[in-house]
Structure 1
Amino acid sequence: MKINITLILILCMLVFTGCKQPADTMVLLDEKIEIINISNSHGFGEMNEDIIYSFRDIESISILKDVITTATKQKSDVDVEQPDFDMMIGYGDEFPIHAIHLWLGKEGETSTFRYMVDDEVSTYVTTPNSTNKLRSILN
């Protein structure tokens, strides 16, 4: 009987320690996004205000918001490369703009986001499917 209890306890410990914590994901404000502007990036910490894409429609904003907020915190080697795009997430006049750098992956690859103002210099990586969604919107 003691062996059965010991085996059950060991099995429970293995199950509980094998469970992963939820991944850290990018966070946006819990406010309605009114506009997402995108420009070619001029480098780290700079926001290029020469907008090349501007999205106000619900469908595009929904797709972009989903791609951003499902990107998971992971190490990335983007520190050596200039970002491809700067994204400005606008919530209206009462709220600040979220400024995000984007390194757009090739079709079927991951893409990387980084908050423009981030003390930790954390990077967030998308799935290949999310990259494909980004590519379809930005073409």
Structure 2
Amino acid sequence: MKHIVMFLILSFSTLILISCQSQTKEMTLLDNVSGISISKSNGYGGLNENYFASYSQEESISDFEEILKNAKGNTQDVTNETPTYDILVRYENGDTHGLHLILGNEGEESVFMYIGYEESYTVSPEDTYKLENIIVEEEAY
């Protein structure tokens, strides 16, 4: 009887641990986004406030929001790669988020990180393509 109880406890504990690990973290938006500003990154830690593009139009913002909502938690360490861009997300309630973006090449994933945190969030190759169209076209001007 003692072995059966111990087996059930171990099985239940293992099941809980496995289910916790399989949950994918998603990026969190604090409120409705009111604006997005983009700059070349100077590296980890700070936010470069020399923006080359700012968006406040609903269509552009909704594209960014959708990409951020689709980003999935990533367990790999990406701090050995230098961020390509810094992004300031402004919310209607006045809050802000600073993000680093490592923009992937065509057909590759991209990675977002909240500034000051090591957790990273992966963006699909399709969303990388959308990001590239939004950012690189603006940067060219």
Instruction: Tell me, in whole angstroms, the C-alpha distance in 1 between the residues paired with 2:56 and 2:23.
Output: 31
- Indicate the residue corresponding to 1:82 in structure 2: 82
Q: What is the match of residue 41 of structure 1?
A: 41
Give the match for residue 125 of structure 1: 122
| Count of residue pairs brought into register by the alignment | 118
**Secondary structure in structure 1 of the residue aligned to 2:61:** helix
With structure 1 as the length reference, what TM-score do the two structures score?
A: 0.78
TM-score (norm 2): 0.77
Sequence identity, in percent? 34
Distance 1:105 1:64 in 2: 16
Q: Which amino acid aligns with 1:43?
A: G
- How far apart are 1:95 and its partner, in Å? 2.7
Query: Which residue matches 2:98?
Result: 99
**Where do residues 1-139 of structure 1 align in structure 2 (5 Å cutoff)?**
21-29=22-30, 31-92=31-92, 94-118=93-117, 121-138=118-135, 139=137
Matched AA of 1:126: V
Unaligned runs of 5+ residues in structure 1 are: 1-16
How much has 1:75 moved relative to structure 2? Answer: 2.5
Unaligned runs of 5+ in 2: 1-17
Q: C-alpha distance in 2, partners of 1:42/1:49?
A: 10
Taking the aligned partners of 1:76 and 1:96, their CA distance within structure 2 comes to: 28
Match of 1:10 in 2: none
Moved beyond 2 Å, runs of 4+? 75-78
Paired amino acid for 1:25:
E
Q: For the residues of structure 2 that align with 1:32 and 1:71, how far apart are their CA atoms?
A: 17
Q: Secondary structure at the match of 1:23?
A: coil
Measured in 1, the distance between the counterparts of 2:76 and 2:102 equals 11
CA distances 1:61-91 after superposition (whole Å, capped 9, x unpaired)? 1111111121111123421122000000011
Q: Secondary structure at the match of 1:59?
A: helix
